[in-house]
Amino acid sequence: MKSVTILGHCNVALSIILDILYEKYNNAIRIEIVSNIKQEENKDRNIPYLNKLEFINELFHADWNYNADNKVYIAANGKETRIKIFDFFYKHYKMDY
CA 82 and chain centroid, separation = 11
Q: What is the mean pLDDT of residues 80-88?
A: 93
Domain holding 45, by residue range, is 2-93
Around 21, how many Cα atoms within 13 Å sit in the side-chain half-sphere?
Answer: 29
In angstroms, the CA 91 to CA 70 distance is 19
Question: What pLDDT is stored for residue 50 in this prediction?
Answer: 66
- State the SS3 of 33-64: EEECCCHHHCCCCCCCCCCCCCCEEEEEHHHC
Coil, strand, or helix at residue 13?
helix
Q: What is the mean pLDDT of residues 37-44?
A: 78
Whether the pLDDT of residue 69 is over 90: the answer is no
Count structural domains, the chain: 1
Whether the pLDDT of residue 83 is over 90: the answer is yes
Question: What pLDDT is stored for residue 48 in this prediction?
Answer: 72
